[in-house]
Amino acid sequence: MGADQLEKRLIDDLMETNLTRNEARAYIALLPLETATASKLVEKTGIPDSKIYRTMDNLQKKGLIILQEGVPKKFIAVHPIEAMENLRTIFKTEFTRRMASIDKLIESLVPIYQDHEESPKIAYIIKGKSNIFNHAKRLIDEATSSITLMMPNKELFYPLEKSITHAQERLSDLSLGFYHQNLPTQDFPFSYQAISCICFFLIVDDKILLTISNWNTNHWHAIWTTETSLLEVSQGYFSSPSCCAPNDSESTY
């Protein structure tokens, strides 16, 4: 990789850490130098005179450079290890602040949200693996009477395990099923049924259905509905002997 290509890649990488292009260019330009004046950096980087001091001020605030007072002022690059640790601290602080903001938003938005789960009998589509699992976890966490969860394999169960563990502690009606060719190991901490259908669905309180497709691809889709007939059909996949009758040696574990 040539020097120009390396510099371009490093600038792009630094911009991923929330530095501006000028800040990234200035920091990289300083690295091989003992010190540099603003005019030297303008010459070396092409950053306009009108922007160089603001750029250096931002780099100083982020902990990537040190200012040496004098006439003229000079700038020194902070060692990359220390500089990246300073950026890491900024990220952690910002992350904590944003998470606190999200918690406050939850408290403010939930009372405004109109609960649709028992209203129109209609199906909604949810896309994306993480979105689907987050929705499934919320449904499980809010269950008040029963949960039926049918899984194609044990690996797809693990993101829901914590929520299921808590549900098991508070609900008397918890039914788990796994496709009989992909059963969990014997030390699996939940009772489950071996089933013949390769399905992935969740029924909560006998009134909410989340059925998932394309779980073996990168294009997960789920349908969330309260439509009664779909709930009955899905429950039948779990309980109907004609569909999900387990093998003789794989009834209940």
Residue 222 lies in a domain: yes
212 with 142, same domain: the answer is yes
Residue 113 lies in a domain: no
Residue whose token pair is 């000079």 = 74
Residue 90 lies in a domain: no
Using an 8 Å Cβ cutoff, are 64 and 28 in contact? no
- 55, 82, 109: which is the final residue of a domain? 82
Residue whose token pair is 């780099």 = 59
Q: pTM of the prediction?
A: 0.61
Burial (CB count <10 Å: 0-12, 13-18, 19+), residue 108 = exposed
Residue 184 lies in a domain: yes
Q: Is the preceding omega at residue 111 within 30 degrees of 0, hence cis? A: no
Residue whose token pair is 């808590």 = 166
Residue 210 lies in a domain: yes
Predicted local confidence at residue 253, as pLDDT: 45
- 82, 110, 144: which is the final residue of a domain? 82
CATH code of 145's domain: 3.30.870.10
- 82, 111, 141: which is the final residue of a domain? 82
Predicted local confidence at residue 27, as pLDDT: 95
Q: pLDDT tens digits for 34-75?
A: 999 999 999 999 999 999 999 999 999 999 999 988 888 899
Using an 8 Å Cβ cutoff, are 140 and 190 in contact? no
> Total structural domains in the chain?
2
Within 172-227, residue ranges assigned H as helices are: none
141 with 69, same domain: the answer is no
129 with 211, same domain: the answer is yes
Q: For residues 216 and 95, which has the higher predicted lDDT (pLDDT)? A: 95
In 3D space, the residue among 38, 48, 102, 42 whose CA is nearest the CA of residue 71 turns out to be: 38
Using an 8 Å Cβ cutoff, are 227 and 199 in contact? no
CATH code of 71's domain: 1.10.10.10
Residue 170 lies in a domain: yes
Question: Which residues share a beta bridge with 74?
Answer: 37, 68
75 with 8, same domain: the answer is yes
Residue 232 lies in a domain: yes
**pLDDT surpassing 80 at residue 241:** no
Residue 149 sits in which domain range? Answer: 123-244
> How would you label 1-10 residue by residue, b for 16+ Cβ within 10 Å and e otherwise?
eeeeeeeeee
164 with 235, same domain: the answer is yes
| CA distance linking residue 210 with residue 223, whole number of Å | 6
Per-residue 3-state assignment (H helix, E strand, C coil) for 4-20: HHHHHHHHHHHHCCCCC
